[in-house]
Amino acid sequence: MNRERENAERTSIAPDPAPDSPLVLTEADEAPESLLNEWPEDGAFYRATRHAMPGFSLGYLVAHRAGVRVAVIPYFITEFRLNTMLDVGWMKRVLGGLSLRVACVGHPTVSFGRIDGQISSQLLDQVSAVLSRKAPIVAFKGFGPDLPAHGFVRVKGLPVAVLNLEGDFWSTLHNHKQRNDFTRKLRASSALRFEEHAGLPAEYLERIHHLYLGTRSRAAIQFECLSPEYFSATSDRSIYVLAFLHEQLVGFAQMLPKGERVVGKYLGMDYTANREHGVYFALCLHALEVCARRGYTEIELGETGYSFKQALGCGMVDIWHYYRHCNPVVHSLLARLAFLLEPSGKDLPG
């Protein structure tokens, strides 16, 4: 994956009808129908997830120039815990009760920051001014290194793993040793039975949410916590791969497709079954086989778990987050403590 190409594609640029006319921002409660239409995480996804993330409030700013819409800026507001990115240890415990209210451009569950339309320093300045009235910290989540957000602290985020598929998935594994290792892992999971579903069967909703929560509780970095409504609201636009052991659902992978792209959204599993039967590896490999069979060519596999994803042949797309506090003194302190907002070295790919 070419990082520059990915960064360039991340935003759909619209022509500016009258660059000398004033730029006017208005609020919108709902995502416009055409928002980010070319991406799996489009306006319909934003609308479906609006009430599915406790502790997060979604909103939209719409920019017009000379009466013509030139950009839509999705954002969310939340209380950001200062220990979110820290390793387990004394500092994580000490900062556990501290949080700051943040108004952030992006979406809580979407890895890449996307603004639909014309990006300029003028637009970002006006967006920052509006959001600073909603929270003391304004942020831009998951953007490229050259976002024209002047006066912001820029910190490195977790890279996003992206796999380019060409034909059959197994044909992309050029490393003979790696191919044998994956074959061995699949043999170890021979007791598992897999099902592929267009959408989530309603009878599995409660179990899916239970598996999701169990997997989330083991994650080193925890941000959003989804309600069961997330899985029901996104069901009609998802592909699910389900893993069963003796008729018990022990794992799931949710994928969000559109066009030739797929976003691997969430994976959950029973860790007892995983230790003996390799649920995680088998789920991932079966999900990729589903994607290859359906003709998808670009699979976004998210953050963390980098060693396995690199073995799959994923490229790593770097992202950055941008922060600014409305108080100059606090902002200066924030710049000095930027390490609190960055992932630790052990969370990054080797």
Q: What is the pTM of this model?
A: 0.87
Q: What is the pLDDT of residue 5?
A: 39
SS (H, E, C) 45-81: HHHHCCCCCCCCEEEEEEEEECCEEEEEEEEEEEEEE
CA contacts within 13 A on the Cβ side of 223 = 16
Q: Are 25 and 127 in contact (CB under 8 A)?
A: yes
Using CA atoms, how far residue 34 sits from 30, 71, 113, 144, 261, in Å, is 11, 11, 17, 23, 18
pLDDT band at 221 (very low <50, low <70, confident <90, very high): low
Mean per-residue pLDDT, 83-91? 53
Q: Which residue has the tokens 């034909």?
A: 167
Residue type present at position 181: D
E-strand stretches of 82-118: 99-105, 116-117
Q: Which residue has the tokens 């969000």?
A: 256
With 60 as the cut, is the pLDDT of residue 63 above it? yes
Architecture of domain 3-159+318-347: 3-Layer(aba) Sandwich (3.40)
Q: What is the pLDDT of residue 2?
A: 46
With 50 as the cut, is the pLDDT of residue 200 above it? yes
With 50 as the cut, is the pLDDT of residue 62 above it? yes
What residues contact 290, with CB distance under 8 A and at least 6 apart?
196, 239, 241, 255
Rounded to whole angstroms, how far apart are CA atoms 315 and 317? 7
With 80 as the cut, is the pLDDT of residue 259 above it? yes
Q: What is the pLDDT of residue 305?
A: 84
What ranges do the domains of the chain cover? 3-159+318-347, 161-316
Q: What is the pLDDT of residue 4?
A: 37
With 80 as the cut, is the pLDDT of residue 61 above it? yes
Q: What is the pLDDT of residue 225?
A: 83
Q: Give the closest residue to 290 by CA, choosing from 324, 256, 319.
A: 256
Q: Which residue has the tokens 């002047």?
A: 150
Tally of CB atoms within 10 A around 188:
14
Quick one: tokens of 299? Answer: 């699979």
pLDDT band at 115 (very low <50, low <70, confident <90, very high): very high
E-strand stretches of the chain: 23-28, 57-65, 68-81, 99-105, 116-117, 137-143, 153-156, 160-164, 193-198, 239-245, 248-258, 261-269, 298-302, 315-317, 320-325
Strands of the sheet with 239-245, listed across from one edge: 193-198, 239-245, 248-258, 261-269, 298-302, 160-164, 315-317
pLDDT band at 98 (very low <50, low <70, confident <90, very high): low
Share of the chain above pLDDT 70, in %: 83
Q: What is the DSSP letter of 234?
A: T
Quick one: tokens of 194? Answer: 């897999």
Q: What is the pLDDT of residue 84?
A: 56
Q: What is the pLDDT of residue 3?
A: 41
Arithmetic mean of pLDDT over the chain: 86
161-316 classified as CATH 3.40.630.30: yes
Using CA atoms, how far residue 217 sits from 204, 213, 223, 232, 271, in Å, is 20, 6, 11, 21, 11
Q: Which residue has the tokens 């809580």?
A: 108
Rounded to whole angstroms, how far apart are CA atoms 189 and 151? 52
pLDDT band at 18 (very low <50, low <70, confident <90, very high): low
With 60 as the cut, is the pLDDT of residue 232 above it? yes
Tally of CB atoms within 10 A around 48:
18
Q: Are 268 and 214 in contact (CB under 8 A)?
A: yes
What residues contact 121, with CB distance under 8 A and at least 6 apart?
148, 149, 150
Q: Which residue has the tokens 């995480």?
A: 41
